[in-house]
Amino acid sequence: MTREIREVKTEKEKKDFIMLPFELYKNDPHWVPPLISEMKRIINGSGSLLFQSGPYALFNAYENGKVVGRIAVGIDEKMNRLRNKTEGYITLFESINSKEVAFSLLDTAQNWLKERNMTKMVGPVSPTNGDDYRGMLVENFEDPPVIYTTYNPPYYVDFFKEYGFEPEHTFVAFKYDLKRLPLDESIRVIEYAKKRYNFYTRKADYSKIPDEARILQKILERSLIPLEYDYLIPPTEEEMLTLAKDLVKFIPAEFVQLAFSGESPVGFAVAMPDYNQVLKRLNGRLFPLGWLKFLWYKNKINKARVFLLFVIPEFQSKGVPAALFIELLRYAREKGYVFAEGSTININNTKMCREAEGVGGVLYKKFVIFKKEIV
């Protein structure tokens, strides 16, 4: 058997990189095909703030000419400067159930980073430097993934542990049964908190997207803490505006809730319909018939994911996180949604985990970003 690790350069190699999961997961009922067009934008750099932040490389593993694994490796130079670190990342890892293939890919990534004087390798991280596909699923492979959450076979976890990785960040997901959730009681509690601590919530104003984007960016700057986001830095105003323009195409204004105390913004939360329920039917393609399927099935979505919730420190213990979350769940239930997921939360962020449980959440999944010293 001939095995080869090849850096992705040609269009054929890019296609192999993108299409490998379609072969690996073709018999897995839980896997959701990503949009091929979106993945092209990511690996070419235009759709990834992470790849724009420093050098990166993509590698494919081949056996007898057939692609059997892939990995992306890079350096977030902006983060390293701000955090005074010398670490690199890996992302978009996929492999057949072969330790030899997986270790060959990980060796390649480690050597690439070592040549550039990095001392630690972390991952898998989000390929966009966002919240999408962050970490590796390590618990609960039975429930299907909701939009932009990680799904992988259990043997990936074994590969990483055997290679010498250790957990650096553990993130959790909470599930909510909107049919049984006692929202009315929670709403009474948060209305009391709003009066006591003098804050209010409102939905985003999509007629003023630049202004709203600046508000979100300022909240992020004041909310991110090293404990949870040691590898993540707030986007610039320009980056936030770009993200906002993309998100508003797919998210109702009611799924973006902001909190204010007087004129001062103190928090925000964002949810998204679970488009995985639609993507599952598209097989990665919007054309020629994908758009018709998308338009047909998007109105049948009955799940949502709350994927962003940030509150400035002064208001984190005043009911603001719960109020924002409840507003999102209330709108979801009014629209006929039956399920919501709140994810992902750093397990060490005990305050936020308690808030999630306090409004009826049940912890049901775990994801891990691993770390390894480069030797």
Same domain? For 241 and 315 the reply is yes
**Residue 249 and residue 117 share a domain:** no
Q: Is residue 157 part of a domain?
A: no
Together in a domain, 216 and 324: yes
Q: What percent of the chain is predicted at pLDDT more than 70?
A: 94
| Residue 24 within a domain | yes
Residue 135 resides in a domain:
no
**7-16, 44-53, 364-373: least confidently modelled range:** 44-53
* 16 and 110 both lie in a single domain: yes
Residues 191 and 64 in one domain: no
Q: Are residues 195 and 291 in the same domain?
A: yes
Backbone conformation region of residue 74, classed left if phi is above 0, alpha if psi is from -120 to 50, else beta: beta
Is the pLDDT confidence value at 327 over 70? yes
| 45-72: burial string, b at 16+ Cβ within 10 Å, e else | eebbbbbebbebbbbbbbbeeebbbbbb
Last residue of a domain, one of 72, 102, 130: 130
Mean pLDDT in residue range 288-312: 80
Model confidence, pTM: 0.91
113 within domain boundaries: yes
Measure CA 306 to chain center.
Answer: 11
Same domain for 126 and 182: no
Do 218 and 93 share a structural domain? no
Q: What confidence tier does 297 reach under pLDDT thresholds 50, 70, 90?
A: low
Q: What is the pLDDT of residues 337-354, one digit of tens each?
A: 999 999 999 999 888 899
| Residue at 136 is within a domain | no
Q: In CATH, what number is assigned to the domain containing residue 108?
A: 3.40.630.30
Residues 201 and 89 in one domain: no
Q: What is the mean pLDDT of the chain?
A: 92
Residue 335 lies in a domain: yes
Q: Tokens representing 152?
A: 């992988």
pLDDT of residue 230: 52
Backbone angles phi, psi at 110, to 5 degrees: -65, -45
Beta bridge partners of 163: none
List the domain range (segments joined by +) for residue 48.
3-130
Tally of domains in the chain = 2
Q: How many CB atoms lie within 10 A of CB 181?
A: 18
Are both 187 and 328 inside the same structural domain?
yes
Are 207 and 118 members of one domain?
no
Average pLDDT over residues 154-158: 98
Of 92, 115, 130, the residue that ends a domain is 130
| Dist. CA 122–CA 333, nearest whole Å | 38
The model's pLDDT over 234-292, given as tens digits with 9 standing for 90+, comes to 788 888 898 888 888 889 999 999 999 999 999 999 999 999 999 998 888 876 566 56
- Say yes or no: 342 and 204 in one domain: yes
| Paired tokens of 188 | 């009474």
**The predicted structure's pLDDT at residue 248:** 87
Nearest-CA neighbor of 85 among 111, 123, 117? Answer: 117
* 68-116 per-position pLDDT tens digit: 999 999 999 988 998 899 999 999 999 999 999 999 999 999 999 999 9
**What band does 184 get if pLDDT is binned at 50, 70 and 90?**
confident
Q: SS3 of 131, please?
A: coil
- Please check whether residue 154 lies inside any domain of the structure: no
In a domain, 328, yes or no: yes
Residue 233 clears pLDDT 80, i.e. is over it? no
Boundary-marking domain end, from 115, 130, 145: 130
- The whole-angstrom separation of Cα 251 and Cα 55 is 32
